[in-house]
Amino acid sequence: MDESIRSLIFQAIDQTISAEDFERLQNAIEQSDEVRADYLNAVSLCESLSDIAAVEDNSADAPKSASVHTSSEFMLASHQTNRRLTASRWARTVVAPTAIMIVGAAAFWFGLKDGIRRQEQFAGREEITGTNSESVIAGHATLRRSVDIRWSEKSNSYREGDVLPAGMLQFDQGVAEIDFFCGATLIVEGPATLNVESDWSVQVASGRLRASVPPAARGFMVMAAGSTIIDLGTEFALDVGAENAHVEVIDGEVELRGGEYDGNHLTTGQRRWLKGSGNDDSLAGLSTTGDLQRRRGMAQAQRFINWQVHSQQLRADDRLIAYYPIAESSTGRIVPNVAASGSERDGQTVGLANRVDGRFGEMSSGFEFDRPGSRVRVRIDGEFRAFTFACWTKIDSLEHRYNALFMGDGYENGEPHWQIRDDGCLMFSVMVDDSKEIIHRTPFDEQPVKDAGLHRVYLTEPFWDISKSGQWFHIAAVYDPVGREVVQFVNGEELSRQEIIDRFHVESLRIGPAEIGNWGQPFRKTPWFAVRNLNGTIDELAIFNAALTSDEIRNLYEQGRPLGY
């Protein structure tokens, strides 16, 4: 074994390797079986040494390693012993009965319990009540990517990530990449008219397309000009016009059914005119996935730049209480407040609030709050006369009853709570009098609700369901004590406008210690906390000491739209 490679291996394990050497090591691992084996042996050795060292070190009183988890019991269980877990411990922890919506701070080994328990609750709820039916979405494909697409007036329009139901898709220009649930992918160039029939079949009335069919999707059918093209694997191109229709196998094999060539098999390079005839080159230059990605990348970058320009102007707005353009920063746990109020109001990530791609793809970033402990903490002191909250968020699922966007810690007088209920309704509220315990029926639920304090939750109609998972939304809430109304927006459109009646009127607003993406109650007296982390990503948040107008909200949305909106 080359000693220099071995030294690189240990440098990699010790995390002291340079970027160039890491590249060299990766090449060597890919090219040489021997290096690969050596690398694995070395990792294994060092892990065994760590385990042995940890066992011998076990008498040490306090854990030495920094950990994101705060529970000492947790660390003792997972790190200070040699990380072994017995079946009985698993069984005990997994089946331990716990209250819904509450998680013990003494979470067991890396929190797995939470996930499993949650699933149990879902399964359990369905089994017990039989009324909460499993959620279903109708559709056969998803719009994976698109560039410059303009949907025809008569047609429904879709965004990237949308589930496509059976029916017509029609666009006048642009390119769409459509993934059928069977695994086949179509790259369609507009103008095009398609009829999605099932997970396995589509009719093409017009348009140019490239169909890629992996082994799992063999048998995928494309109907055009009275013929059915059955893909027996890999790739073919199709051009359907008013007068003619042309198919060519790029790679692999297709079978034709119906029409003039019924029963014909075409293989790589073979082509047929299904209708009419014309220039054999009609299929040249058809977009590939690579082309689409490049064009998309360029268009996305343009949107990103537009937003940055606007964001620079926005930060001079003296109505801003705080502004966190998370999308533009890329590293670190500090979430800078770029409004004039300055670094006093910077946020700080806690727990596993991971940086992930923001709404402009990999050039931008956002924070993901998918663990119960993930949060961005801020402290915003002062008194305010109105609130406008505006953020861009991508929701993966609404897995808790309430899912936090921005929450004042203690929910004390004048403090805001901005969240999304599990049925997709937006909720905005401000505490009016936290000394009262109130029992009331909400007009939406018809359920008596016991509230710790006098407040009113301003709810919208649902705007989200699981079919919107992974899409970005611009969400805004305006709380206007002077104008006596609460207005909420999604993607620049007004979703609800509600009056603030006398009983719920608060003039003086505060924020204080608060969290983005979660609800913190660091002053609570028990280790239990309500789980309200947002299973999703936030990549921009602006808070104004003013009631922005509908036009202003619309403009925030327009200037910040990512590609495909």
Partner 1 sequence: MTSNRQTEDATSADREVQYSQFVALIARHDQSIRRFVRSLLPSQEGVDDVVQETALECWKKFSDFAPATPENAVDEFVRWACVIARFKALSWQRDRARDRLIFREGVIEALAAAAMDSLDRQESERRAVENCLQTMPDDQRQLVLSVHSPGESIAKIAAETGQKARRLYSRINVLRNLLLDCVQQRLAGEATNG
From residue 406 to residue 435, what is the string marking binding to partner 1 with x (rule CB under 8 A)?
A: ------------------------------
From residue 225 to residue 264, what is the string marking binding to partner 1 with x (rule CB under 8 A)?
A: ----------------------------------------
Phi and psi angles of residue 509, each rounded to the nearest 5 degrees, phi first: -105, 150
DSSP letter string, 326-363: GGG--SSSEE---STT-GGG-EEEESS-EEEEETTEEE
Among 14, 61, 502, 551, binds partner 1 (CB under 8 A): 14
Both tokens of residue 311? 């964001």
Among 2, 4, 48, 465, binds partner 1 (CB under 8 A): 48
Site residues (CB under 8 A) for partner 1, limited to 310-339? 330-331
CA distances 21 to 24, 36, 37, 403, Å, are 5, 15, 18, 44
Cα end-to-end span (Å), the chain: 55
Q: How far is the CB of 69 from partner 1 (least distance, A)?
A: 9
Considering beta carbons, is residue 19 or 99 the nearer one to partner 1?
19
Give the number of other Cβ atoms within 10 Å of residue 422's Cβ.
14
* Distance between CA atoms of residues 260 and 366, nearest Å: 55
Of the CA atoms within 13 Å of residue 182, those in its CB half-sphere come to 22
Q: How far is the CB of 439 from partner 1 (least distance, A)?
A: 34
Q: How far is the CB of 292 from partner 1 (least distance, A)?
A: 19
The answer to whether 19 contacts partner 1 (rule: CB under 8 A) is yes
Give the number of other Cβ atoms within 10 Å of residue 399's Cβ.
17
Considering beta carbons, is residue 227 or 374 the nearer one to partner 1?
374
Among 2, 45, 277, 445, binds partner 1 (CB under 8 A): 45
* Distance between CA atoms of residues 470 and 464, nearest Å: 11
Among 73, 76, 94, 276, binds partner 1 (CB under 8 A): 94
Of 286, 308, 475, which is closest to residue 391 (Cα–Cα)?
475
Q: How far is the CB of 38 from partner 1 (least distance, A)?
A: 8
* Distance between CA atoms of residues 343 and 25, nearest Å: 41
* Distance between CA atoms of residues 101 and 113, nearest Å: 13
Considering beta carbons, is residue 49 or 298 the nearer one to partner 1?
49
Site residues (CB under 8 A) for partner 1, limited to 106-125? 110-112, 115-116, 119, 123-124
From residue 53 to residue 92, what is the string marking binding to partner 1 with x (rule CB under 8 A)?
A: xx-xx-----xxxx-----------xxx--xxxxx-xxx-
Considering beta carbons, is residue 46 or 438 the nearer one to partner 1?
46
* Distance between CA atoms of residues 471 and 489, nearest Å: 16
Q: Is 51 helix (H, G, I), strand (E, B) or coil?
A: helix
SS3 per residue for 266-305: EECCCEEEEECCCCHHHHCCCCCHHHHHHHHHHHHHHHHH
Site residues (CB under 8 A) for partner 1, limited to 463-502? none
Among 170, 185, 234, 365, binds partner 1 (CB under 8 A): 365
Q: How far is the CB of 293 from partner 1 (least distance, A)?
A: 15
Among 4, 36, 268, 277, binds partner 1 (CB under 8 A): 36
Considering beta carbons, is residue 163 or 352 the nearer one to partner 1?
352
Site residues (CB under 8 A) for partner 1, limited to 122-151? 123-124, 127-128, 130
* Distance between CA atoms of residues 514 and 71, nearest Å: 22
Considering beta carbons, is residue 46 or 466 the nearer one to partner 1?
46
Q: How far is the CB of 91 from partner 1 (least distance, A)?
A: 5
